[in-house]
């Protein structure tokens, strides 16, 4: 039932799954400001069980927010593959340890497309709302906050908090599709370039000629479609490359 006072949609009041209930009624009174919205993902029924404030923040009404892949559906096209990797990997990891990750949380900062086709920077917090009798995740609560007033870059930032998690190894799995994007030598040059080291100095540090350094720089910018060091740093961050370590 739609609540015109708080822009909330309760699709079913409550969901009964295998003898357990996903209660959504408490969310009607969930406190939100004008920059915040929430929605509840029912994984077992593959639907959005509840939403509130989405129209205020992104312009979409309840008919537009009915798919569980809402985030990847409306994220910037450049970020689609990464967002899918992150979300799917966190779900797989959490369900690998049933009952141990009921307090796991995923945080993502990304660009989302609004109803008017403009993009705004959104900070998302995903937490486990309910689990089934085996401890597997049954529903997820997503809280979205418009942070465009203080975060204007185009880089997807994320972190995942869960039991038994080795974050460094987990990140490598997330960015595995980009593992061979640059050669090892190009990564060494990127590290120097991002420190704003001059070509002559890079050549000395890496024991290669200035011509070779220039060739690598051209290839790096061509591959990444970047035009400045700032763009290159952001691009590397987006595909999981630490420009300090160069890997």
Distance between CA atoms of 240 and 246, rounded to whole angstroms? 10
- Count Cβ neighbours within 10 Å for each residue of 23-34 and write b for 16 or more, e otherwise: bbeebeebebee
| 16: number of Cβ within 10 Å | 9
pLDDT surpassing 80 at residue 53: yes
**More confidently predicted of 15 and 92:** 92
**What pLDDT shows up at residue 128?**
92
Question: In whole angstroms, what is the distance from residue 2 CA to residue 29 CA?
Answer: 14
Confidence of residue 23 (pLDDT cuts 50, 70, 90): low
Going from N- to C-terminal start, the domains of the chain cover 2-174, 180-238
Contact partners, residue 163, CB within 8 Å, separation at least 6:
97, 100, 101, 103, 104
Specify the pLDDT at position 1: 32
Candidates 1.10.10.10, 3.90.960.10, 3.40.640.10, 1.20.210.10; CATH matching 180-238: 1.10.10.10
pLDDT > 60? residue 21: no
Percent of the chain at pLDDT > 70 equals 89
C-alpha separations of 6 from 34, 55, 122, 137, 164 in Å = 11, 10, 20, 28, 39
State yes or no: pLDDT of 18 exceeds 80: no
- How far is residue 225's CA from residue 240's CA, in Å, rounded to a whole number? 17
How would you class 225 by CB atoms within 10 Å of its CB: exposed for 0-12, middle for 13-18, buried for 19 or more?
A: exposed
pLDDT tens digits along 203-239: 999 999 999 999 999 999 999 999 999 889 988 988 8
Q: Which CATH number fits domain 2-174: 2.130.10.10, 3.30.450.20, 2.70.240.10, 3.40.50.720?
A: 3.30.450.20
Residue 242 in this model has a pLDDT that exceeds 80: yes
Question: Which residues lie closer than 8 Å to 204 by C-beta, 6 or more apart?
Answer: none
**pLDDT at residue 4 tops 60:** no
246 pLDDT band, cuts 50/70/90, is very low
Q: Does the structure show a pLDDT above 90 at 99?
A: no
> pLDDT per residue over 155-181, tens digit each?
899 999 999 899 889 998 899 888 899
Q: What is the pTM of this model?
A: 0.80
Using the predicted structure, report yes or no on whether residue 89 has a pLDDT greater than 70: yes
pLDDT at 237: 86
Mean pLDDT, to the nearest integer, of 81-108?
A: 91
Average pLDDT over residues 97-106: 88
Distance (Å, rounded) from C-alpha 41 to C-alpha 48? 5
Per-residue confidence band for 13, with pLDDT thresholds at 50, 70 and 90 = very low
Q: 19, 27, 70: which is closest to 52 by C-alpha?
A: 27
Please give the pLDDT value at position 162: 94
Average pLDDT over residues 103-120: 96
Angle at 203 between CA 201 and CA 209, to 5 degrees: 145
pLDDT over 80 (residue 245): no
């Amino acid at each position: 039932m739609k609540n015109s006072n708080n822009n909330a949609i309760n699709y079913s009041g409550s969901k009964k799954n295998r003898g357990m209930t996903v209660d959504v009624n408490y969310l009607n009174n969930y406190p939100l400001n004008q920059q915040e919205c929430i929605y509840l993902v029912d994984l077992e029924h593959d639907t959005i069980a509840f939403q509130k404030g989405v129209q205020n923040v992104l312009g979409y009404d309840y008919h537009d927010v009915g798919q569980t892949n809402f985030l990847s559906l409306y994220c910037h096209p450049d970020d689609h593959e990464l967002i899918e990797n992150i979300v799917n990997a966190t779900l797989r990891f959490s369900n690998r340890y049933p009952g141990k990750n009921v307090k796991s949380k995923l945080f993502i900062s990304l660009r989302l497309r609004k109803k008017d086709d403009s993009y705004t920077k959104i900070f998302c917090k995903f937490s486990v709302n309910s689990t089934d009798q085996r401890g597997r995740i049954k529903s997820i609560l997503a809280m979205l906050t418009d942070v465009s007033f203080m975060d204007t870059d185009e880089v997807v930032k994320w972190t995942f908090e869960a039991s038994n998690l080795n974050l460094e190894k987990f990140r490598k799995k997330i960015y595995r599709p980009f593992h061979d994007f640059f050669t090892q030598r190009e990564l060494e040059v990127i590290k120097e370039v991002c420190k704003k080291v001059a070509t002559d100095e890079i050549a000395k540090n890496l024991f290669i000629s200035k011509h070779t350094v220039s060739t690598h720089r051209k290839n790096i910018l061509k591959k990444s479609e970047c035009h400045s060091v700032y763009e290159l740093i952001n691009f590397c961050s987006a595909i999981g490359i630490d420009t300090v370590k160069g890997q």
